Amino acid sequence: MEVLVFGAGSLGSLLGGLLARAHDVTLVGRDPHVAAVRADGLRITGVETLDTRPAATTDATGASADLALVTVKAYDTGTAARALATGDYGVVCSLQNGMGNEDVLADAVDAPVLAGTVTYGAGLVDPGHVEWRGRGTITLGAWRPADDAATAERIAAAFRAADLDAEAVGDVRRRLWEKLAVNAAINPVTALARVENGALTEEPLAGLARSAAVETAGVARADGVALADETAAEAAATVAGETARNRSSMFQDVSRGRRTEIDAINGYVADRAAVTDRAAPVNRALAALIRGWERGAGVGRSGDE
């Protein structure tokens, strides 16, 4: 299978490198990482050590593939969608944080769209070198009724052919909302408090994180997705405990003075709460605080977004 990975950061590079064991893979990213992969291949260390040689480019205009995996930050989804719209793809699959990405892609591309969640851990060490920090799972599902569920199973099988743990599911929207609850609880709280994930397993931060997760579950139900409060709260607490020594992606972004994915996480919850006539004061406050930091750091949304 020909696979194009749009967003060769840490996760995209890891997935692309692992998929290259069984498929024809092209990474789309930025230099100097792309230049290093093109020259010397991609080195993966950590859980396993291996060297792979996917193709790599900084420009996907007019490209084609059986599968396009989108792994960019949520605020770059529009850019990815416009680039993918110039090419020809059998399937487009989002493996991103936050919500709203799939709708942006579906509006732009003439292909079935899959949504997915992924728990593989990765970190970009140097150009051309990614660290595999933890085994995980990948779940995939059709985003719209018109996107045949059999397509999700076919893509999951392609992942499994490269020894990745993947399954096709029929409740992908609920899975995405549950993941959103986890991210809404962990990301902004750790970023604002400058703490590792484990700090959210005890007070004073545990209650705040739980409130964000429970609010998210309520908004999910108002949006037609059956997600129980306790399911969301337990998922957030479990992830915080299992990744106790990790720094969340939003904490890393804030530490490095980079834009965050707050709009697609807590901002999305607050926006959907308004549309469905629910209150989400905790998510709204967390979104406002992170957006305030972004504005002060000069890394917030640009005027054309």
The answer, as to whether pTM is greater than 0.75, is: yes
Q: Which residues are catalytic?
A: 179
Is residue 58 located within the same domain as residue 122? Answer: yes
Out of 168, 183, 209, pick the residue that ends a domain: 168
Structure tokens at 209: 């994180």
From first to last of its 305 residues, what are the pLDDT tens digits of the chain?
999 999 999 999 999 999 999 999 999 999 999 999 999 999 999 999 999 999 999 999 999 999 999 999 999 999 999 999 999 999 999 999 999 999 999 999 999 999 999 988 898 999 999 999 888 899 999 998 767 889 999 999 999 999 999 999 999 999 999 999 999 999 999 999 999 999 999 999 999 999 999 999 999 999 999 999 999 999 999 999 988 988 899 999 999 999 999 999 999 999 999 999 999 999 999 999 999 999 999 997 754 34
Q: What span, in angstroms and rounded, lies between the C-alpha atoms of 134 and 299?
A: 30
74 close to 263: Cβ distance less than 8 angstroms? yes
At position 8, the amino acid (one-letter code) is A
Is residue 285 domain-resident?
Answer: yes
CATH of the domain at 109: 3.40.50.720
The answer to whether residues 96 and 77 touch, using CB atoms and an 8 Å cutoff, is: yes
Is residue 302 domain-resident?
Answer: no
Same domain, 113 and 247: no
Does residue 303 form part of some domain? no
The candidate with the shortest Cα–Cα distance to 243, out of 185, 176, 164, is 185
The verdict on 188 and 272 lying in the same domain is yes
Residues 86 and 220 grouped into a single domain: no
Q: Are 109 and 228 part of one and the same domain?
A: no
Structural domain that includes position 94:
2-168
Domain with 187 in it: what CATH number?
Answer: 1.10.1040.10
Report the C-alpha gap between 217 and 220 in whole angstroms.
5
120, 211: one domain? no
How many structural domains is the chain composed of? 2
Of 168, 201, 233, which one is at a domain's C-terminal end? 168
Give the tokens for residue 287.
């979104």
Examine residue 72 and state whether it is found in any structural domain, yes or no. Answer: yes
